[in-house]
Amino acid sequence: MGRAQGKPKAITTSEARTVLPELARAAARRSKPAKSLRANAVVIHPRGEERSAYLVPEVDIEEAERRIEELEEELEDVALVRLMEQRALTDNGNLTHVDDVIREFGFHDLLAE
């Protein structure tokens, strides 16, 4: 399968009908995720279509989902820091009840109603 690093192997739907079981077995056997989601993928080009479908190993999908979740958590942390910075800049010396701050930060589900 000599292909450029990270560039998916491309096949037609006719080829896919013949080799799909082999491709699926190879994808299912992978135990370590690739560095990119497309590295282990196989592109399937349907005749007459501009766009394609990808056959991606489960381990690569799981790693991509894990990384997305990690990045979402990082973004939430950054957003909280920004909110706290803004709140500190507008501090007028008055205390705000903690429940109000929790609501302001969007964590309504953490409050016992």
**pLDDT score of 4:** 46
User: Above pLDDT 90, what percent of the chain?
Assistant: 57
Could you list the residue range(s) of the whole structural domain that residue 94 is in?
64-110
Give the angle subtended at the CA of 9 by the CAs of 59 and 7, to the nearest 5°: 80
Query: Is residue 89 located within the same domain as residue 48?
Result: no
Average pLDDT over residues 82-102: 80
Query: Is residue 70 located within the same domain as residue 47?
Result: no
Q: Is residue 2 part of a domain?
A: no
DSSP 99: H
**pLDDT score of 113:** 61
Q: Is residue 1 part of a domain?
A: no
Query: Is residue 74 located within the same domain as residue 53?
Result: no
Task: Please give the mean pLDDT across all residues of the chain.
Answer: 86
pTM score of the predicted model: 0.69
Residue-wise pLDDT for 41-56, tens only, equals 999 999 999 999 999 9
Q: Is residue 76 part of a domain?
A: yes
Helices (H) and strands (E) in the chain, counts: 3, 3
What is the count of structural domains for the chain? Answer: 2
Query: Is pLDDT above 60 for 64?
Result: yes
Q: For the range 80-88, what are the long-range contacts, defined as Cβ-Cβ under 8 Å and sequence gap of 24 or more?
A: 80/105
